[in-house]
Chains A and B, each alone.
Chain A
Amino acid sequence: MSGRISSVLGTPARRLGAASALAIAAALGLQNAPVLAQDDTLRVVIHADLRNLDPIWTTAGITLAHGYMIYDKLYEFDSAGVPQPQMADGHTVSEDGLVWTITLRDGLMFHDGDPVTAEDVVASLERWWQRDGMGQTLAGVTESLEAVDASTVRITLSEPFGLVLDALAGIRGNPPFIMPADVAATPADEQITDYTGSGPYVFLADAWEPGSTVVYERFADYVPRDEPADFMSGGKVVNFDRVEWVYIPDSTTTMASLMAGEVDIWELVPPDLAVAMEGSPGIVVERGAYSHGVIRPNHLIPPFDQPEARQTLLHLVDQSDVLAAAIGDEALWQECAAYLTCGGPYESEAGVVGVVAEPDIERAAELLQASGYDGSPIVILDPTDLPDLHAVALYVGQQLRAAGATVDVQAMDWSTLTSRRTSTAPVDEGGWNILVTYTGGLEAASPLTNITLAANCENAWFGWPCDQEIEDLRTAWRTESDVEARREIAEALQVRAYEVVPYVPYGQFFTSRAHRDDITGYIPGTPISVYWNVDRVE
């Protein structure tokens, strides 16, 4: 009788199934088995999924973070914003400022055991400066780049350029990571397939599970500098045998996981959860880098091809409302009308219109009328998967409606948005009128690196503002070396920006990060999270 029961309930099938499950698990599991939990493994929940591994081919933040794990650079910025030697031992500049000679320090080695030579540096820089904005600028003023001997690189300029080291220390865009010469020989528009670097960690390609886990292990032969770590510069000391990057798309699950001690670091914590976790036992919440909010109108098509229409936005946006909606807790944001950010060297109140005052709906409606707005729907791109930007998009929509405009808030995810924003077509052919985003605070602080401020028409960042005066001022700033003169130029730039409105700044806010309280040495404020210097207290 019992035999019949089990056949009825399908036990043979189930037994078969269980056995095959174990068999499959064993077979596949042996290939992909995550290592058992160890104290010398650092587990980090990363902010995005690592998809592409070539930081010269893409500028995605997570790929750059990957780059900082396995590569090294000639120079790195310290907390004062001064480029410090990293792979370089030092440099000399000729009298006329045209010849820069950089020597490499001893002990630099790639993960495969080969020493790092000047040839590798030259090849890497030549690949890098085809892509990166700052690099292109440097390439434009360089006559020759050569390896003088195994440990010396010489850059000969065609004109004096004070930012050579700044270019070589560039944190974002495409950072000038040094790769083996044969890897750097890969054309800049193709992705590399060899991930050998000379940085403090080694990438374990076999353990990589896209969409879930990235694994690095300590590079035993890495020789860190003697100086203490200072922002991106200084000695890159590694205290863990192994680092696991975990991608968990659900922030609730991540928070529970951090609180349960299953992970050590959470790179990017949504503002409300950051505030909620403050004071939780076992958890430390810190501020990350600061960001600069950007509401970008499309200058190519109506209605924002007219300056009056763009100025409408200045009277509709109240930074404290936007930031309260998008970020929440006041501790995490501040109003800042400066195009070149507050707290930076060019903070200024010159020329400010609206944005930090109560919205003036009447004036906004007037300006909108005056611009010749015909009532057709204004398309706002709304990235619904990014809650902070989603809030900003809805806010702008609400304010525009209050001013009498017809608004079409189009929901999409960020990926789709990055594709839609490339469209220069009119709205009924897939174009857009307003896009919301933010840039790094550090980049926004300088006229050279604040790409959203650039008004070079069709070569500008999406939105394509076009204003000769802004461009002249930016060039003037770049070529000026006197600090006071630069400040005056920056002010003039801001005054002009408030007339032309390349974008509407909606303030500054801090990202947050969190970690278990037994973790120390997580360097604060870096635009890209770095994992040297991190240690676990026993």
Chain B
Amino acid sequence: MRNPPRAFRTETQASAGKPAGVVAATLSRLWRNPTACFGGTLLALLAASAVLAPLLAQHDPLALVPAERLRAPSHEHLFGTDMLGRDLYARVLHGGRLSLTVGILTAVICSLVGLAIGLVAGFSRLADALIMRVMDGIMAIPGILLAIALATIVGGGVSTIVLAIAVPEVPVVVRVVRGVVLTLREQTYVEAARSLGTRPGRILLRHILPNSLAPLIVQATYICGLAILIEAYLSFLGAGIPPEFPSWGNIMAEGRGFVLIAEWIILIPGAFVAATVLSLNLLGDALRDMLDPRTRRAL
């Protein structure tokens, strides 16, 4: 490594305010990474199946057909039927919409809220002390328990579930953002900019935000996967999305009592969850490896 490490180059590029260039460069590097490629393709397929659900599924995911209860996968019903005669293929595909929405919304909310709070904490010493105590407090309560408690107490519904899953993850994002802000504040060029009289807002936009973006995106990817998993857990315990409209989690929750006689009801949505979360984790890993200079110097 004779030249300045690539990481530093990336940083300066970003500080020079060319986010579009960074994105393009990242994407092309991702494409060359086999794990990322695999994860990305898998994710794209799953997302496509969810988006195209109404086209792909012949049956109505909500229609009760008592005569067709608990049928194993067949030509007529690709994934079989559940205990109310509803077509599982349709439910799983439509369920993907809900589960993926929960994942994406959670990731977005955590990122935005975490970014805002993290920035404040990084810039204001006073607020920092208070904010970090509160974040520590939230992190001290194990995430799933907090999510369960919130979801149950406030009641069902997608927005509540999203909030319940998001709240425990916000502190993680806050820490990351705050970390970036604190590090960057010490950098010479930032100090230089400040002493030159540059407004804080501009410093924020040109220096801080672009450098927060990368770790933020990595975190968001992981959070998306985690949210989908937690939705499954919440629904399994009866504290998740109400089962009239399918989500992967609540399909499995309804199928819980039938595992010994209709295992497809849990196996198939579970496979979808695993595949989605796996692809998100793989993508997150690839992104992180790409953006974190240290791990790239590995043997």
Partners in one complex: yes
Contact between B257 and A252, CB atoms less than 8 A apart: yes
B83 touches A395 (CB 8 A): no
Q: Mark B107-148, 1 if CB is under 8 A from A, else 0.
A: 000000000000000000000000000000000000000000
Contact across chains for A325 and B156 when beta carbons are under 8 A apart: no
**Who on chain B is nearest to A395 by CB?**
B64
What residue of chain A has the Cβ atom nearest to residue B259's Cβ?
Answer: A252
0/1 interface trace, chain A 496-508, chain B, CB 8 Å (1 if under):
0000000000000
Interface residue count on the A side (C-beta < 8 Å): 29
Does chain B have a CB within 8 A of A250?
Answer: yes
Please, which residues of chain A bring their CB within 8 A of the CB of B20?
none
- Beyond A384-B243, A411-B243, is A394–B260 a contact (Cβ under 8 Å)? no
Q: Contacting B260 at CB < 8 Å: which of A273, A324, A387, A410?
A: A273
Contact with B along A387-411 (1 / 0, CB 8 A): 1001100110110000000000111
A411 touches B84 (CB 8 A): no
- B 255-267 binary contact with A (CB < 8 Å = 1; else 0): 0111111100000
Bound CA–CA A410/B256 (angstroms)? 21
A252 touches B260 (CB 8 A): yes
Beta-carbon contact of A324 and B256 below 8 Å? no
Closest to A270 in B: B257
Given B64, B83, B244, which contacts A411 in the complex, CB threshold below 8 Å?
A: B244
Mark the stretch among B65-73, B164-172, B207-215, B222-230 that contacts chain A: B65-73
Q: Does A413 contact B (CB under 8 A)?
A: yes
| Inter-chain contact A385/B238, CB cutoff 8 Å | yes
- A272 to B261 alpha-carbon distance, docked (Å): 8
CB pair A394–B84 under 8 Å, yes or no, is yes
* B154 vs chain A, min Cβ distance (A): 12
Assembled-state Cα–Cα distance A256/B243 (Å): 26
Q: Answer yes or no: B19 CB below 8 A from chain A CBs.
A: no
In the bound complex, CA of A401 to CA of B188 (Å): 67
Chain B residues bordering chain A, tally (CB within 8 A): 24
Q: Is B11 an interface residue (CB 8 A)?
A: no
B242 contacts the other chain (Cβ, under 8 Å)? yes
User: Min CB distance, B105 to chain A, in Å?
Assistant: 20
Query: Which single residue of chain A is at the shortest CB-CB distance from B263?
Result: A252
Interface status of B254 (Cβ within 8 A of chain A): yes
Which residues in window 324-350 of A have CB below 8 A to B? 324-325, 328
Judge if B85 is at the interface, Cβ distance under 8 Å.
yes
- Contact A325–B64 (Cβ < 8 Å): yes
Residues on A with C-beta less than 8 A from B155 are: 412
A483 in the interface, Cβ–Cβ < 8 Å?
Answer: no
Please tell me if the beta carbons of B260 and A256 are within 8 angstroms of each other in the complex.
yes
Question: Does A382 have its Cβ within 8 Å of any Cβ on chain B?
Answer: yes
Tell whether B63 is near chain A: CB-to-CB under 8 Å. Answer: yes
Is the Cβ of B238 less than 8 Å from the Cβ of A391?
no
B244→A394 contact, CB < 8 A:
yes
Q: Is the CB of B261 within 8 A of A325?
A: no
* A251 interface residue (CB < 8 Å to B): yes
Cα A396 to Cα B244 with chains together (Å): 13
Chain B CB within 10 Å — which of A250, A385, A391, A395 has the most?
A391
B interface residues (Cβ-Cβ under 8 A, vs A): 62-64, 66-67, 69-70, 83-85, 155-156, 238, 242-244, 254, 256-262
Further pairs besides A325-B64, A412-B155, A412-B156: 17, Cβ < 8 Å: A252-B258, A252-B259, A252-B260, A272-B258, A273-B257, A273-B261, A276-B261, A321-B66, A325-B66, A325-B69, A387-B83, A391-B83, A391-B84, A395-B64, A411-B242, A411-B244, A413-B238
30 contacts between A and B (CB under 8 A): A250-B256, A251-B256, A251-B257, A252-B256, A256-B260, A272-B70, A272-B83, A272-B258, A272-B261, A273-B258, A273-B260, A276-B260, A322-B66, A324-B67, A324-B69, A325-B66, A325-B84, A328-B70, A384-B242, A387-B83, A387-B257, A391-B84, A394-B84, A398-B64, A409-B242, A410-B242, A411-B243, A411-B244, A412-B155, A412-B156
